[in-house]
Amino acid sequence: MGNTFGKAFSITTWGESHGPAIGVVIDGCPPGLELTETDIQLELDRRRPGQSEISTPRQEEDRVEILSGVFEGKTTGTPIAMQVRNKDADSSKYDIIKNMPRPGHADYTYQMKYGIRDHRGGGRSSARETIGRVAGGAVAKKILERHGIEILAHVVELGGIKASPVQVDEIKANVESNPVRCADPEAAKTMLERVKQAREDKDSIGGIVEILALGVPPGLGEPVFDKLDCDLAGALMGIGAVKGVEIGSGFASAAMTGSQMNDPFEMRNGKVVCSTNNAGGILGGISNGEIIVCRIAVKPTPSIARSQKTVDMSDLSETNITIEGRHDPTIPPRIVPVAEAMTALVLADHLIRAQSYTK
Amino acid sequence: MGNTFGKAFSITTWGESHGPAIGVVIDGCPPGLELTETDIQLELDRRRPGQSEISTPRQEEDRVEILSGVFEGKTTGTPIAMQVRNKDADSSKYDIIKNMPRPGHADYTYQMKYGIRDHRGGGRSSARETIGRVAGGAVAKKILERHGIEILAHVVELGGIKASPVQVDEIKANVESNPVRCADPEAAKTMLERVKQAREDKDSIGGIVEILALGVPPGLGEPVFDKLDCDLAGALMGIGAVKGVEIGSGFASAAMTGSQMNDPFEMRNGKVVCSTNNAGGILGGISNGEIIVCRIAVKPTPSIARSQKTVDMSDLSETNITIEGRHDPTIPPRIVPVAEAMTALVLADHLIRAQSYTK
Amino acid sequence: MGNTFGKAFSITTWGESHGPAIGVVIDGCPPGLELTETDIQLELDRRRPGQSEISTPRQEEDRVEILSGVFEGKTTGTPIAMQVRNKDADSSKYDIIKNMPRPGHADYTYQMKYGIRDHRGGGRSSARETIGRVAGGAVAKKILERHGIEILAHVVELGGIKASPVQVDEIKANVESNPVRCADPEAAKTMLERVKQAREDKDSIGGIVEILALGVPPGLGEPVFDKLDCDLAGALMGIGAVKGVEIGSGFASAAMTGSQMNDPFEMRNGKVVCSTNNAGGILGGISNGEIIVCRIAVKPTPSIARSQKTVDMSDLSETNITIEGRHDPTIPPRIVPVAEAMTALVLADHLIRAQSYTK
Amino acid sequence: MGNTFGKAFSITTWGESHGPAIGVVIDGCPPGLELTETDIQLELDRRRPGQSEISTPRQEEDRVEILSGVFEGKTTGTPIAMQVRNKDADSSKYDIIKNMPRPGHADYTYQMKYGIRDHRGGGRSSARETIGRVAGGAVAKKILERHGIEILAHVVELGGIKASPVQVDEIKANVESNPVRCADPEAAKTMLERVKQAREDKDSIGGIVEILALGVPPGLGEPVFDKLDCDLAGALMGIGAVKGVEIGSGFASAAMTGSQMNDPFEMRNGKVVCSTNNAGGILGGISNGEIIVCRIAVKPTPSIARSQKTVDMSDLSETNITIEGRHDPTIPPRIVPVAEAMTALVLADHLIRAQSYTK
């Protein structure tokens, strides 16, 4: 279980890395929304590997096909099924991991949970699973767009190198102009060097991605267990390699005083606003009309070209494993569209849920 | 909506700070579990304010009553309803916040979401709501106990003061022996001074709480959206004042390399274990048999005795508010039992879900 | 599990017949609805036994108390908890059924499922559980009322005696004027005689209840698994003693031809309507604007004063049981408010869900 | 919403009659179950039209493809996605129903609910949607088989002609040997004549299908809202054309007395059993170990070759419609595998849920 996300707007993803295909079924999409395969493809192309010198050179095409729920270019309110065929790939190189779990990967835990697993390319735990999320998120973004809500993500730290604080406009302008998806061009250059060095070291590096949601009206979020920050935290923590989530001032709040942390209310252009945004746009689990700000900690890529200690599960002997193939030496730049997708899914779900409060 | 948590073992909480009562309904508790009101009261007493010199001096008795689901001292598999009567309290002191939202509180967002709210003592957004969570968590802990699982939480940072790393035994021995619930006795003293100073400054401080789950078997967690870390992140982020959640190395992972981060597998006493625990006991969203480690960032108490800027919603004029009454100058020590409860609820839910994988 | 009903407007019921109390928690009630304990009490009084010469003479007071979710006479959007205290009752007369399951009751199946049960008065499987449903349904009715939707139920067959077809006005006028809740006064008299005779025979009789929903707009119901008729069928079948549910022409449809069954569309007062209503107001699982018509088959009361064959579970010997106490010789009249409540809950849930389709 | 069925074992169906494909995603299938496309195809072939002289002569191939969740012939515990490509069909013949809703069909209600619909072949409301249900049910049947549970359905009434009562063995032997799927060979002949006559009359007929579940252990079903009979009633009522559901003695119970209806308990071969089975295998919403017996009322096919009154939605004028193409003059024989599938889905879901009660 656990392959469905969302209550009023939901996605159900399916598929393994080396199975016939990967896909998603969206339920709860409002009818009458203009939707084409191009809308989806644009986001999938941002997710796709092989786009830059630092991502895996595998050439995956990942052409999406919409199979239901759209008629004459518009959604009909019925489920939208989408899928991407996997390329026939030689999976013999994965034979080694059948019995030897890779450190930092889900091989061991899937085996312990299910007693059986499709080990090829990580099977269901492969990053290819995010194709379904990104496709679903693309539809969520289109819904949000109708309500003036926009989602942006960018890399703010990579391999220990921190970007300078940036304005929203800079993110829009810069984030897709460099391979590390950092909105600070200077930091981006240093980050890129750091990534190349990591690859040379047969190692990998982690980083931090920030996600912003602009234009979210006050009132989204359902206390007390479906708070907006609960759902964002759960959604973002569930992306592979994410080990931490924070909202607004996040972990820095722990060292602040109340008089520093509290965002005062004031009037601006006839509207109630906050003078600061330490809360990150959410108070008591409900959006307050400010920009929603999340940051996620992304661990270094677990697949590294060095020999690592592991156990051969067939005879419980200690051994070493060296993972073949070429892998991204860092994940945060590629997580950007996935984090946007998960954020969009949470917000679209809550937007639709909130519509029931009108009467 | 959003007042129910859990899929196979769930709690539904209800009640406002100054309403007649606060309560919880548990569904999915296995039959045959020994359960008395004392089991619940013990945890509620840990949560209750007025226990130490640094918590609010309000004397709340918070006597729990079990109303269903238990027969001759054992659970029957039917819903367990529990409630705590609220004391009649003078709520006139809250008149001021009816129209003036307190910075850092949920007053403004509840008003924007629902158009109406019980403003007395924060109503539904009051920390008193956690009575239901702690009562539910007490039952979850009893279920976990039968499977050898134990939950521990302790304060690891308060007002910028960091505790030294401690062993599990030290946590068990020390955490309840000082009012800040810090397992490092030296740090606890400094933290206590820091709390007192904050109160003197009419201010408040935040901190970090760490939660450990011991004895969790491998295999709990449902990929891809109900991962164990998704559910823990959502559960913990939903506790009032929490602004960040991390698992294992968490945000520190962002600056690590893959060769540092990956936990090698090795054999110990005939079992596959990890040499290190940077993953915090969870790989691919599934428990791996190691100790589960979470940390949460807790913001400083938003109620401070200083004048703060706000807006009078009745005429949209800017004004100032000074919150009366005495409030805890810091939340982390009191969040400890709540964080344990939420962690226990997540694990009991996943434990029961995992039992369906046997055939 | 299974004690929560509804997705956007839900109730969670709890409590056993001879436990301390019985109650319900409503989640998803729109804010700003005027609600008092009197609104609830009116419906509970209709459900209460001891109201007429043919129902059990037990004098249950069943005073409801609202414990949360209402502030200054209006709902706030937070959970509404309500409860009714059970009277202290001598439960020694139930000792006999501890090991001897009563034919037609849930004693045996609860014991087999849970391995333990509160046998007193049937415990959780008692008809007293419907207090929570009726209290929840009373709130649902108030929501529906704001949208011009009204729910009516009446007994159309009792002990084999069929009422003549009646108009909606006759139901409103007559149903509460006789103890069998039949809108045909002539049939009501004969039915009443039949009930008395059954009691004299130490036996019991069944019947059929019809439920109408007036004023339901077209468009409620979610294909393909949450169809309006799916949810109505599930909700009504789940009332104790119900063994069948039909919509519109129901089982009679099986012997009709398409040309008889199909309801032609026509224009009336500028609106599209159906010339007939064999569909019972639902097509493809979605309301079509006509009156929704359901009928439920209610089995005879299983508690009869005759000796019946059963098994002593303590030694697996065959034996006989005679159930003491006085019991209603027929259930349909008392099921009327419960069936209305369940229908109201389904419609309120779907009404709120449908509001998300506006944008 | 509403396209997902089941809580611990669920299916999500998608697809329209004339879209690119129809499919299903199964979540919660236990790992290690042997599964091939042939297992699914066998059931789909039973569902497929064009198999006999009385079903539509359209030659649909309906080849299923498994796209995920199966590795080396066994399920892995991850979602199983399956799909069937739709044949390119000329949909111009459906132009007439774009604005003119067919009586007895969902055209009008879909249009009112969504404001837009894929009208071709009924779109989402087409009987082709049941491909996903039958594919999902085929997997459910394999799970049930491991637990010794078998599902059988047969036509017991057609066009007013009732079959004689039959034994389980006769159903197994006879049901697939005649085109009306009736286990009484004599009645089957008369029914077949009745079907042919209906077609000649340009009309259609309804009937009743009985579904049996053999080998269900006591203890399945979750009181009070997820009772086994609630879920069966909802599942079966949701099949297109079904207008009534009854369990055990069903509507006949209404005219019985308690002493007739109650099933006495007795010992047989060392086990507690019921002497009769008026309850249809379910007491208090929980299986009691007897055969589960459901019957569904199926209305006559709404598509008939006669002119029928309807309204042109484009100008709200009254008009007449004659539906082209050839349609099954009766649905019950083809509903048999669908009803089996829905019953299997309910039981597999409850079987898995019940496994959590072991500790």
- Structure confidence by residue, pLDDT tens digits, D174-229: 999 999 999 999 999 999 999 999 999 999 999 999 999 999 999 999 999 999 99
How many CB atoms are closer than 10 A to CB C39?
Answer: 17
Evaluate whether B244 touches B273 at the Cβ level (below 8 Å).
no
* Whether the Cβ atoms of residue B189 and residue D44 lie closer than 8 Å to each other: no
CB–CB of C357 and A77 under 8 A?
A: yes
Using alpha carbons, select from D94, D63, D7, D152 the residue that is nearest to residue D324: D94
Homologous superfamily of domain range C4-357: Chorismate synthase AroC (3.60.150.10)
- Token duo for residue C296: 């439920």
Best residue of C257, C268, C314, C322 to probe chain D, by most D CBs closer than 10 Å: C257
Judged by CB atoms closer than 8 Å, whether chains meet at C81 and B117 is answered as no
Q: What is the pLDDT of residue C356?
A: 78
* pLDDT bucket at D58, cuts 50 / 70 / 90: low
Q: Which of A5, A7, A9, A12 to mutate to test the interface with D (most CBs of D within 10 A)?
A: A12
Q: Which residues of C touch B79 (CB under 8 A)?
A: 3, 12-15
Distance CA C236, CA C347 (A): 13
Give residue D67's identity as a one-letter amino acid code: L
Residue D93: per-residue pLDDT = 86
Choose, out of A22, A34, A65, A68, the residue to mutate when testing the contact with D (most D CBs < 10 Å): A68
**Residues in A 134-153 with any Cβ partner in C closer than 8 A:** 146-147
Average pLDDT in the A6-22 region? 97
Condensed to tens digits (0 to 9), the pLDDT of residues A97-127 reads 999 999 999 999 999 999 999 999 999 999 9
Cα separation, C351 vs C28, in Å, equals 12
Tell me: the pLDDT tens digits for A184-220?
999 999 999 999 999 999 999 999 999 999 999 999 9
Tokens 């006028």 belong to C173
Q: What is the pLDDT of residue C88?
A: 74
pLDDT classification of D56: cutoffs 50, 70, 90: low
Q: For residue D212, list its beta bridge partners.
A: D152, D293
**Residue D20 and residue A74: Cβ atoms within 8 Å?**
no
Separation CA D263–CA D249 (nearest Å) = 11
DSSP, collapsed to helix, strand or coil, labels residue B178 as coil
Q: Which residue of D has its CA nearest to B7?
A: D7
Distance CA D339, CA C283 (A): 19
Q: How far is CA D327 from CA C22, C201, C264, in A?
A: 53, 53, 19
Question: Is the Cβ–Cβ distance between D247 and D294 less than 8 Å?
Answer: yes
- Asked if D191 has any chain A CB less than 8 Å from its own CB, the reply is no
How far B192 CA sits from the closest chain D CA (Å)? Answer: 43
Q: Which of D206, D243, D311 is the closest to C248 by Cβ?
A: D243
Identify all chain A residues contacting C223, using CB atoms and an 8 Å cutoff: 78
Q: Which residue stretches of chain B have pLDDT < 70?
A: 50-51, 55-60, 357-359
The DSSP-derived string for C59-88 is: -----EEE-SSEETTEE-SS-EEEEEEPPP
Count CB neighbours of A234 within 10 A.
28
C357 touching A (Cβ < 8 Å): yes
Higher pLDDT: A62 or C138? It is: C138
Q: Mean of the pLDDT values across residues A26-35?
A: 97
Contacts of A118 in chain D (CB under 8 A): 71, 76, 78
A contacts of C356 (beta carbons < 8 Å): 8, 28, 30, 352-353, 355-356
Residues of chain D neighbouring A4 (CB-CB closer than 8 A): 4, 10, 12, 27
Pair type for strands D4-5 and D10-15 = antiparallel
- Quick check: A60 and A37 in contact, CB under 8 A? no
CB < 8 Å to A244, chain B: 244-247, 250-251, 253-254
D117 in A contact zone (CB under 8 Å) = yes
Chains that touch C (3 or more CB pairs under 8 A): A, B, D
pLDDT in tens, D73-126: 999 999 999 999 998 778 888 898 999 999 999 999 999 999 999 999 999 999
Per-residue pLDDT of chain C (359 residues; tens, 9 = 90+): 999 999 999 999 999 999 999 999 999 999 999 999 999 999 999 998 766 666 665 555 899 999 999 999 999 999 999 999 998 778 888 898 999 999 999 999 999 999 999 999 999 999 999 999 999 999 999 999 999 999 999 999 999 999 999 999 999 999 999 999 999 999 999 999 999 999 999 999 999 999 999 999 999 999 999 999 999 999 999 999 999 999 999 999 999 999 999 999 999 999 999 999 999 999 999 999 999 999 999 999 999 999 999 999 999 999 999 987 778 999 999 999 999 999 999 999 999 999 876 55
Is the pLDDT reported for residue A59 higher than 60? Answer: no
Q: Above 0.95 for ipTM, yes or no?
A: yes
Angle at C309 between CA C308 and CA C310, to 5 degrees: 115
Helices C228-237/C332-354 angle, 10° precision: 150
A16: nearest CB among D25, D28, D78: D78
pLDDT of residue B51: 64
Q: For position A129, what pLDDT does the model report?
A: 96
- Structure-block tokens of residue D94: 């459906």
DSSP C16: -
Q: What does the alpha-carbon distance between residue D322 and residue D320 come to, in Å, rounded to a whole number?
A: 7
Please name the residue of chain D whose CA is at the shortest distance from the CA of residue B223: D78
Q: Name the pTM for this structure.
A: 0.97
**What's the mean per-residue pLDDT of chain D?**
95
Which residues in chain D touch residue B359, judged by CB atoms under 8 angstroms apart? 30, 146-147, 355
Q: Answer whether D4 touches A (CB < 8 Å).
A: yes
How many Cβ contacts (< 8 angstroms) between chains B and C?
A: 150
CA distance to partner chain A, nearest, from residue C33 (Å): 9
SS3 of residue C289 by DSSP: coil
Task: Name residues whose C-beta falls within 8 Å of residue D284's C-beta, 6 or more positions apart in sequence.
Answer: C105, C106, C109, C110, C125, C240, D223, D227
Question: Is A358's pLDDT higher than 70?
Answer: no
The total number of residues written for chain B in this structure:
359
Task: Specify whether the CB–CB gap between B14 and B304 falls below 8 A.
Answer: no
Q: Smallest CA–CA separation between D7 and chain A, in Å?
A: 9
Choose among C2, C8, C32: nearest Cβ to B116: C32
Interface test with B, best of A109, A180, A271 (most B CBs within 10 A): A109
Structure tokens at A108: 């061991």
| pLDDT score at C327 | 85
Hey, what's the torsion of the CAs at A250, A252, A258, A263, to 10 degrees? -50
Q: Out of B101, B129, B283, whose CB is closest to A106?
A: B283
Pairing of strands A64-66, C317-322: unpaired
Put simply, whether C41 touches B (Cβ < 8 Å) is no
Cis before B224 (ω within 30): yes
Q: Nearest residue on chain A to B262, judged by CA atoms?
A: A104
pLDDT in tens, D145-184: 999 999 999 999 999 999 999 999 999 999 999 999 999 9
pLDDT at C177: 94
Instruction: Determine contact: B112 vs chain C, CB below 8 A.
Output: no
Cβ–Cβ gap D302/C258 under 8 Å: yes
* pLDDT of amino acid C311: 98
| pLDDT score, position A50 | 63
CB contact under 8 A, C251 and D243: yes
Alpha helices in chain C (DSSP H): 37-47, 107-114, 130-146, 168-174, 185-200, 228-237, 258-261, 332-354
pLDDT band at A60 (very low <50, low <70, confident <90, very high): low
| CA–CA dist C258, B15 (Å, integer) | 54
As a whole number, mean pLDDT of residues A62-67 equals 96
For A136-186, write each residue's pLDDT tens digit: 999 999 999 999 999 999 999 999 999 999 999 999 999 999 999 999 999
- Give pLDDT tens digits for B143-185: 999 999 999 999 999 999 999 999 999 999 999 999 999 999 9
